[in-house]
Amino acid sequence: MDYFVLKQDSRYTSTPMLEGLREKLDMRDMYAATSYRIPDKLLFQVKGEKDSVFTDVLDRQLFLLSDGLKRLVELYEPRAVYKMVILMHMLTRRQKTYYLPFFEELPCLSPYAELHQDQRTIKHLVLDRERLQGKKILRVSESELPLIVVRLDVAESLLRREPVGIRLERVELV
């Protein structure tokens, strides 16, 4: 079965940026095992243009899912932990609810994958098919940045809902 990286579509350049992220969150807690240290509800003011697009996936600072996408993803991964994140755009007086997901982390990187010199950032992604164990949604544990991978059936289901601003990139498997 094929797998895809789920991420924000880079063609959407005018997306909201969270303010005060480092003051509210310790990035070392952004893993399933330490997610209990993060409050269940977070509130961030965002900066951006008047025409900022609140895409269904935001991944520039945190990996966030819109409410609609979260409800769909929950059907495939009901054991995931989610923290509510409310984004307030003061310029336009818009408010949008997102969720910070904590998916199962799996060491599934293949020896054929290429890493940058820091050994935590992936240059060329190649996953080991056997290590994926048929999981529907997971986080690649060897990546320092949130790298969320979804199985083909999940990807198809996401695309049927015509989400805004998501990108699915096929993953090379060995």
Task: For 4-41, write each residue's pLDDT tens digit.
Answer: 999 999 999 899 999 999 898 998 899 899 999 999 99
- Residue 160's pLDDT band, with cuts at 50, 70 and 90, is very high
Q: For 31-85, what is the HEC assignment?
A: CHHHHHHCCCEEEEEEECCCCCCCCCEECCCCCEEEHHHHHHHHHHCCCCEEEEE
- pLDDT at site 36: 94
- Residue 121's pLDDT band, with cuts at 50, 70 and 90, is confident
Of 10, 1, 18, whose CA–CA distance to 88 is shortest?
18
| Domain spans in the chain, listed from the N-terminal domain onward | 3-173
- pLDDT at site 127: 98
Neighbouring C-alpha atoms within 13 Å toward the C-beta of 34: 7
* Higher-pLDDT residue of 80, 145: 80
Length of the chain: 174
Strand partners, 45: 88
Q: Counting runs of H as helices and runs of E as strands, what totals does the chain give?
A: 4, 15
Q: Residue-wise over 37-74: b if at least 16 C-beta within 10 A, else e? A: ebeeebebebebeeebbbbbbbbebbbbbbeebbebbb
Task: State both tokens at 114.
Answer: 């290429």
Task: For 124-159, write each residue's pLDDT tens digit.
Answer: 999 999 999 999 999 999 998 899 999 999 999 999
- pLDDT at site 7: 97
- Helical H segments across 89-144, by residue range: 129-132
pLDDT at 46 over 80: yes
- pLDDT at site 119: 75
- pLDDT at site 49: 86
Mean pLDDT to the nearest integer, 156-165: 96
